[in-house]
Structure 1
Amino acid sequence: MAEEFDTRHNSRTLVDGPDRAAARSYFHSVGYEAEDLKKPLVMVAHEWIGTMPCNFSQRALAQRVMEGIRQAGGTPMEVNTISISDGISMGTEGMKASLISRELIADSVELCAIGYSFDAAVVIVGCDKTIPAGAMALARLNLPGIVLYSGSIAPGRWEGKDVTIQDVFEGVGAHAAGNLSDERLHALEQAACPGAGACGAQYTANTMATALEFMGISPMGTATVGATDPRKDDVGVEAGKLVMDVLKRGVRPRDIITREAIENAIICAASTGGSTNIVLHALAIAAEAGVELDIDDFNRISDATPLIGDMRPGGRYVALDMDRAGGTPLLAKRLLEGGKLHGDAMTVTGKTIAEIAET
């Protein structure tokens, strides 16, 4: 029989015994009871910020994740870090902060995990650089955990049709060319982003969110559920339960993020016409996981992968359309049918990619 994993493998050194009374006293001051500290301590990290829609739903989603952790016998602790919106900062000095924020987010998650001796982690991610940062942090720590995408924004409605932020960027060009009035441009910008969620097309956020499902570190089928979709509450609760299951099984990120898993992530991006930012982010995740990967791998994999997702910005559809069509499980099924995936790659659920696609 396999040795049972110690679900308090880190936290018992932080809070157990008479000599840790002061640490427990601090925790009591913010609402944790003695019984809470006898359970596994699970970090729920997110990048909520009041400056953009991409991560705006994360505090509410974190509450659902924490609910699931409690139901499964753990004690969740919420931590927060920063995020930078590429969509807002592009064309300004602020864009220089974007890629650097990936490293800062990963470092912040790492430091909190070490500083509070967490036993496991859920990293909730949303806008572009937060997604690879979450995977990088978990791989670096090799701490039992999962990455959970907070979801895509719904399309807006303008002049009788669905519109996204892509239409606003194109509207700026049309306005400059004299083909769109001030009034119509203003109406378009007011309509395009109706609420919380990351950019709706297969830009960096949705590319990386779906890729992490194919990498196995995010639960498959959750990324395409929109940020404001009522089902997202259930996704959060189930994610909380899942991380406790991952902890009990003693599964660590580097058990999941293998060479085959990273190749699956690249295949996902290529098959949906995703962002070429997969290159710089997958290389960074691979480095943290100790997996060899270079630029030539992207060319080789892309050359062998068919484009089967008709997704914006190159195609017609947005992430929520993909969800209605069957989401990432259907995409995995189609790629497996074509012999394009490593079907035996394991995921955080305890099932392989092939097993998930079959259900």
Structure 2
Amino acid sequence: MNSDNVKKGPERAPNRSLFYALGYTPEELDRPLIGVVSAYSEIVPGHMNLDKLAQAVKDGVRMAGGTPILIPAIGVCDGIAMGHVGMKYSLASRELICDSVETMYMAHQLDGLVLVPNCDKIVPGMVMAAVRMDVPAIVCSGGPMLAGRYGGEEVSLSKMFEAVGAYKAGLINDEQLEDCTCNCCPGCGSCSGMYTANSMNCLCEAIGIALPGNGTVPAVYSKRLQLAKHAGMAIMDLVKRGVTARQIINERSIRNALTCDMALGCSTNTVLHLLAIAQEAGCPIDLNLFNEISAKTPNLCHLA
């Protein structure tokens, strides 16, 4: 095991003493050490449920014979950061996330990773780290937000932007704007709509680094917790078989993800992120491939 570098032999007795200080037992240290990288925080709606999801992942890891270790990751809410200087920090945060995941994995010599992100730059940032290091990894996102309700219909965050325009045009009043504001985003999850977060969570399935349902099971459904437990169990199988991120994410699977991207009509930000993921995976692509696949792939549906 990779983690033997920090826990086996007399030379690593000081290292082991620090694991014991954390409360780990010799039995736990005999198992693979799995990093559960959670972007949980109280500032991002898509991340406010990740504490429970990460716990479910840890349960799955334990059920399959591993020792889960929770590791934090930052995350910017693009919606809250929008419209002011904060937006300058959003894309840059992707590189910070990637670097921090690499740092925590390599510094502590873990055996595998379950990545628990949900929003725009966090998903690609974590995936970039997995393929950069080429280690066993699986993504389990927090899931999409349920639709809101306004004016008697189901709405997504797009309606909120439209409402601002309608208010400025004098088409709705203060009370109607407040009604939309209070009911557009009903709870936890990545903003409903085929924005970057939901796009990348769907593409994680298509590219092969997430289980089926990763992009579509709503954040508040119990099936999301079940998915997390299965992800925890799945990483143990990947570690046992020595399957690493670059064996999953390669030129063929990236083409598959691009095709899915065009079929679903995903966010244009997926261009930024798939280019970066491909670069880190050692199989760089360019915009010509996007054009090639777009020319022969029908847009099958409009998702919100």
For 1:154 and 1:290, how far apart are their aligned partners in 2?
37
For 2:139 and 2:133, how far apart are their aligned partners in 1?
13
| 1:114 match | 106
| 1:295 match | 287
TM-score of the aligned structures, taking structure 1 as reference length: 0.83
Q: Letter of the aligned partner of 1:48 in structure 2?
A: Y
| 2:236 match | 244
SS state at 1:149 partner: coil
| 1:265 match | 257
| 1:210 match | 202
Structure 1 counterpart of 2:224, from 217, 228, 232: 232
Structure 2 counterpart of 1:77, from 69, 81, 103: 69
SS state at 2:46 partner: coil
2:44–2:75 contact (8 Å) kept in structure 1: no
Residue 133 of structure 1 deviates from its aligned partner by 0.9
Structure 1 counterpart of 2:267, from 236, 260, 275: 275
| 1:173 match | 165
| 1:341 match | none
| 2:115 match | 123
Q: Letter of the aligned partner of 2:18 in structure 1?
A: Y
For 2:117 and 2:262, how far apart are their aligned partners in 1?
22
| 1:310 match | 302
SS state at 1:178 partner: coil
For 2:263 and 2:156, how far apart are their aligned partners in 1?
22
| 2:41 match | 49
Would you say 1:102 and 2:80 are equivalent positions? no
SS state at 2:154 partner: strand
Q: Letter of the aligned partner of 1:40 in structure 2?
A: P
Matches of residues 10-89 of structure 1 in structure 2 within 5 Å?
10-89=2-81
1:241-269 alpha-carbon deviations (Å, 9 max, x no partner):
00000111110111111111101111111
Structure 1 counterpart of 2:179, from 171, 174, 187: 187
For 1:47 and 1:125, how far apart are their aligned partners in 2?
5
Q: Would you say how many aligned residue pairs link Structure 1 and Structure 2? A: 304
1:209-237 alpha-carbon deviations (Å, 9 max, x no partner):
11111111111232200111111111010
Q: Letter of the aligned partner of 2:240 in structure 1?
A: K
For 2:22 and 2:172, how far apart are their aligned partners in 1?
54
2:61–2:67 contact (8 Å) kept in structure 1: yes
Residue 68 of structure 1 deviates from its aligned partner by 0.4
SS state at 2:26 partner: coil
Q: Which runs of 4+ in 1 moved over 6 A?
A: none
| 1:201 match | 193
Residue 155 of structure 1 deviates from its aligned partner by 1.0
Residue 92 of structure 1 deviates from its aligned partner by 0.6
For 1:35 and 1:249, how far apart are their aligned partners in 2?
22
Residue 157 of structure 1 deviates from its aligned partner by 2.0
Q: Letter of the aligned partner of 1:305 in structure 2?
A: T
For 2:17 and 2:282, how far apart are their aligned partners in 1?
39
Q: Letter of the aligned partner of 2:185 in structure 1?
A: C
Structure 2 counterpart of 1:136, from 128, 147, 150: 128
Q: Letter of the aligned partner of 2:28 in structure 1?
A: D
Identity %: 42
Structure number having the greater helix percentage: 2
Residue 179 of structure 1 deviates from its aligned partner by 0.8
For 1:194 and 1:221, how far apart are their aligned partners in 2?
21
For 1:222 and 1:110, how far apart are their aligned partners in 2?
23
Q: Letter of the aligned partner of 2:32 in structure 1?
A: P
Q: CA RMSD in A?
A: 1.0
Quick check: 179-188 or 102-111, which moved more?
179-188
Quick check: 218-227 or 274-283, which moved more?
218-227
For 2:143 and 2:134, how far apart are their aligned partners in 1?
25
Q: Letter of the aligned partner of 1:227 in structure 2?
A: A
For 1:231 and 1:256, how far apart are their aligned partners in 2?
24
Unpaired segments of 5 or more residues in structure 1? 1-7, 312-317, 319-359
For 1:215 and 1:42, how far apart are their aligned partners in 2?
22
TM-score of the aligned structures, taking structure 2 as reference length: 0.98
Q: Letter of the aligned partner of 1:121 in structure 2?
A: L
Q: Letter of the aligned partner of 1:100 in structure 2?
A: A
| 1:331 match | none
Unpaired segments of 5 or more residues in structure 2? none
For 2:222 and 2:248, how far apart are their aligned partners in 1?
29
1:79-118 alpha-carbon deviations (Å, 9 max, x no partner):
0011111111111100000000000001111000001100
1:160-197 alpha-carbon deviations (Å, 9 max, x no partner):
22122111111000001011111111111111111110
